[in-house]
Structure 1
Amino acid sequence: MQKITTFLWYDGKAEEAAAFYTSLFDDSRIVSEQRYGEAGPGTPGSVMIVEFELAGQRFLALNGGPEFTFNEAMSLSVDCEDQDEVDRLWAALTEGGGEPGPCGWLKDRYGVSWQIVPRRLEELIADSDPARSQAAVKAMLGMGKIVVKEVEDAVAQAG
Structure 2
Amino acid sequence: MNKNTICLWFDRDAEEAARFYAATFPDSEVTAVRTAPTDFPGGKKGDALTVEFTVCGIPCLGLNGGPSFPQTEAFSFQIATDDQEETDRYWNAIVGNGGEESACGWCRDKWGLNWQITPRTLTEAMAAGGDEAARAFEAMMQMRKIDVAAIDAARRGG
Fold agreement, TM-score > 0.5: yes
**Deviations 1:72-110, CA, capped at 9 Å, x for gaps:** 111111111221111000000111321111110111111
Task: Give unmatched runs, 5+ long, in structure 2.
Answer: none
Aligned length: 157
- What is the SS of the residue equivalent to 1:126? helix
Q: How does 1:66-105 map to 2 (within 5 A)?
A: 66-105=67-106
Name the counterpart of 1:133. 133
Q: In 1, distance between residues paired with 2:84 and 2:46?
A: 42
Name the counterpart of 2:32. 32
**Deviations 1:15-68, CA, capped at 9 Å, x for gaps:** 100000000112211111110122534211110000001222110001111111
Kindly indicate whether the alpha-carbon contact (under 8 Å) linking 1:18 and 1:61 is maintained by their aligned counterparts in 2: yes
Moved over 3 A (4+): none
Kindly indicate whether the alpha-carbon contact (under 8 Å) linking 2:121 and 2:151 is maintained by their aligned counterparts in 1: no
Q: In 2, distance between residues paired with 1:3 and 1:140?
A: 36
Q: How does 1:8-87 map to 2 (within 5 A)?
A: 8-38=8-38, 40-41=40-41, 42-87=43-88
Q: In 1, distance between residues paired with 2:92 and 2:62?
A: 23
Query: Which amino acid is 1:2 matched to?
Result: N
Name the counterpart of 1:108. 109
Q: Pairwise CA RMSD of aligned residues? A: 1.4
Identity of aligned residues (%): 41
Q: In 1, distance between residues paired with 2:100 and 2:139?
A: 21
- What is the SS of the residue equivalent to 1:151? helix
Q: How does 1:119-130 map to 2 (within 5 A)?
A: 119-128=120-129, 130=130
TM-score where L is the length of structure 1: 0.93
Task: Give unmatched runs, 5+ long, in structure 1.
Answer: none
Q: In 2, distance between residues paired with 1:106 and 1:39?
A: 34
Deviation at 1:153, TM superposition (A): 1.1
- What is the SS of the residue equivalent to 1:131? helix
